[in-house]
Amino acid sequence: MRFKYCLIALLCCASPLFAQRGRTAPKLYVSIVVDQLRTDFLYEFEELYCEGGFKRLLSGGKVYDNVYYAFDNVDRATSVATLSTGTNPYVSGIVAERWLDRNTLRVVNCVEDKNCKGVYSNEALSPASLKSITITDEIKRSTRGKAIVCSIAPDGDAAVLAGGHAADVVLWKNNMAGYWSSSSYYGLYPSWAADMNKAVQGKPRKWEPMFRTDKYNNFGDKAPSPFSYSFDGKKNMISYKTSACINDEVNEMAIAFLDNSDVGKDDIVDCLALTYYAGNYDGAPMSHRPIEVQDIYARLDRNLAWLFTELDTRYGLGNVVVSLSSTGYVMESGDEDGSYRLPSGTLYSERVQTLLNIYLSAKFGKGDYVEGVYGTQLFLDNKLIERMNLDKMSVVSQAVEFLKSLDGVEDVFTIYRLGGMLSPELQFAKNGYNPVGSGDLWLRLMPGWRLVEDELLVSRQLYRSPIMFPVIIYGAGVGHSVDEKLTPANILATEMARILRVRRPNDNCLRLIE
C-alpha cells in the first residue's frame, strides 16, 4: 500500500514534465497578483474596460471564476505565499502579514530578517520565514540559476513572497519616503531602479475619475460626486498605495526592468512578478466612495493593456504566459456608526488578556498566564506554566471555556483541537495555523464585530472577509475556457508548473485542499 501511494506521488510530481514534452516552454512568465480583486466586480465593471486588458484575458485565457483560499484569516501575505507555493500557511509558515515574536514579544513583519540590511529603507526583509519552495524557485532550479526573476510590489511582504527564495531583483515601495526599496539579501541594488527613484521620488501625482460620474455604477444612497486626490510622492504613502496611482508606478517599474535586463531574450524562461491594487481607497466602504474602486478597476485595465502591448511588441505573446490572480479578501470599514443597526460590537484585545489572566489566576494560582496578544492570537507563558507544574492542556482548556463566554467570540481554536480527522471548518482553521507565528489560542469573532488593540489605538473592523476571485492564465498556447466550479487557490502553482515544464513546488503535489 505504501508503495502504491509513493508511486502515485512520483507520477503526480513528474506529470508536468511528461505532459509538455512536445511543446516549447514560454520565454517569459508574468505573474500578476491584484490585491483585493474580486470576481463579481471584475464582471460588474466590464463597461469601463478597453479591449486590451481584462477583456483580453477573459475572452482568450483559461479562466477559473470562483477561486478561494482554504484557510481562515486571509490577508495579503498569506495569499501571495499560497499562490507562490501552492500550499497553505500550515506548511508555508506565513500565517499573517505580521505576528508576535514569542521570544521578544515584539510584533514583526512576516518577512523581517535581522540578518539583512535594507536598501533605500530601514526594512530589512528576506524570504527566510517562507518554509516552502515557490514556483519561481523551481524556475531557477530547473534552469540551473540562469533564469532571471524579478518581483515588484507596493508592499514588501508581497514583493518578497512572490519573488521566492532565489529571486534576482525584489523591489517594494517604502512607506516613509516613497523610495523603491530592496534588501541586502538580493545583492547589489539595480542601477536602473536607483535612476527610477530619482525620477519618481517627490514626483506629484493626481488621481481624478477617468469618466463622467454618470458612467459609474451608483452603490451609494446619493448620486456619486467626482473626487480628486493629490500626492506629493513623499508623504501619505499608505493612502497612496490604495489609489490608482500606485498601479501606474508599478507599471513604470516593470517597463524599466524590461528595458534594462536580458529577460525574454533567450530560450530560458524568465519571470516577472507584479502586484497591483484593486481595493477601496483608504479602506472606505463602497457607500462612502462609490466610484473610486470602479475607477481603480478601469485604470488597472488600461495598465494591463499597456503592459500586454509592451510584451507583445517585445516578445510576442505566443512566447509569454501571463497569470492573473488575487489576494482573495476585501478590507473595508463596517457599520461603525450603527446607522444600519447591523449586528456588531467591539472587543478590546488588552482587556481580553487582562480578564483571562484574572480568570486563570483564580483557577491555578496568581500569575500572568497570557504573556502577549496580537490581533486575535493569544500567547501563553509556557515557562510560567512549567514552573508551576501545571498541565498546559488543562490551562488551555480553562482558557477556552472562559473565552467562549465573552460577547463577540464565535469560536476559539487551539492546536489540541486540530488533530486527527477534522470537519471542513476545523480544517480551514488548521490550514491557517503554524507554530512559529500563531498563538496558543486564536479567536474567531462574530460577524460584524471589530477588534480594538488598545496599546496601538488601532481599530480593526473584521471586514477582512474572504471573497471569490479569478485565476486567469493567458498566452503561450493556452486555450480559452471558463471553469465556474469552486477551486482552491493552489491550482495556480499546479497549472503554472505544468505550462512552464518545471516541477511543482514541494508540498503542492497531492496536497490539493478540499
Q: Which domains does the chain have, with CATH numbers?
A: 2-333+471-500 (3.40.720.10), 345-461 (3.30.1360.150)
Residue 383 has pLDDT above 50, yes or no: yes
Residue 344, helix vs strand vs coil:
coil
Do 396 and 380 form a contact (C-beta atoms < 8 A)? Answer: yes
Q: What is the mean pLDDT of residues 453-470?
A: 64
Do 94 and 432 form a contact (C-beta atoms < 8 A)? Answer: no
pLDDT band at residue 508, thresholds of 50, 70 and 90?
A: low
CA 263, 28, 87, 171 torsion-angle sign = positive
16 Cβ partners below 8 Å, 6+ apart?
A: 497, 498, 500, 501, 502, 503, 504
Using only C-alpha atoms, the chain has a radius of gyration, in whole angstroms, of 23
Amino acid 351: pLDDT: 92
Q: What is the mean pLDDT of residues 58-71?
A: 97
Residue 292 has pLDDT above 50, yes or no: yes
Amino acid 335: pLDDT: 52
Residue 11 has pLDDT above 60, yes or no: no
Q: Which long-range contacts (CB under 8 A, 24 or more apart) does 5-14 make?
A: 8/510, 9/509, 9/510, 12/504, 12/509, 12/510, 13/503, 13/504, 13/509
How far is residue 414's CA from residue 441's CA, in Å, rounded to a whole number?
5
How many helical (H) and strand (E) elements, i.e. helices and strands, does the chain have? Answer: 16, 23
Q: What is the mean pLDDT of residues 150-169?
A: 98
Query: What is residue 190's DSSP assignment?
Result: P
Cα–Cα distances in Å, from 226 out to 29, 208, 383?
38, 7, 58
* Grid coordinates given for 294: 470602479
* Grid coordinates given for 90: 500550515
* Grid coordinates given for 494: 499546479
Mean pLDDT taken over the chain: 89
Residue 17 has pLDDT above 50, yes or no: no
The amino acid sitting at 164 is G
Choose between 15 and 455: higher pLDDT: 455
Q: What is the mean pLDDT of residues 163-179?
A: 95
Amino acid 511: pLDDT: 43
Q: What is the mean pLDDT of residues 288-301?
A: 93
Provide the whole-model pTM. Answer: 0.91
Q: What is the mean pLDDT of residues 490-498?
A: 95
Amino acid 14: pLDDT: 39
481 Cβ partners below 8 Å, 6+ apart?
A: 62, 63
How far is residue 132's CA from residue 203's CA, in Å, rounded to a whole number?
38
pLDDT band at residue 24, thresholds of 50, 70 and 90?
A: confident
374 Cβ partners below 8 Å, 6+ apart?
A: 98, 99, 100, 107, 349, 439, 453
pLDDT tens for each residue of 434-450: 999 999 999 998 887 88
Amino acid 359: pLDDT: 98
Q: 119 pairs with which residues across the strands?
A: 182
pLDDT tens for each residue of 325-360: 999 999 765 555 566 677 778 888 889 999 999 999
For 221-230, 276-285, 334-343, 423-432, which range has the lowest pLDDT when averaged over its residues?
334-343
Strand order in the sheet with 481-488: 118-119, 180-183, 169-173, 149-153, 270-277, 28-35, 320-326, 469-475, 62-68, 481-488
How far is residue 115's CA from residue 127's CA, in Å, rounded to a whole number?
12
For 212-216, 319-323, 432-436, 462-466, which range has the lowest pLDDT when averaged over its residues?
462-466
Question: Which residue has 512536445 as its cell numbers?
Answer: 22
Residue 249 has pLDDT above 80, yes or no: yes
Residue 194 has pLDDT above 50, yes or no: yes
Residue 455 has pLDDT above 60, yes or no: no
Q: What is the mean pLDDT of residues 473-485?
A: 94
**Per-residue burial over 209-241, b = 16 or more CB atoms within 10 Å of its CB, e = otherwise:** bbeeeeebeebeeeebeeeebebebeebbeebb
Amino acid 202: pLDDT: 73
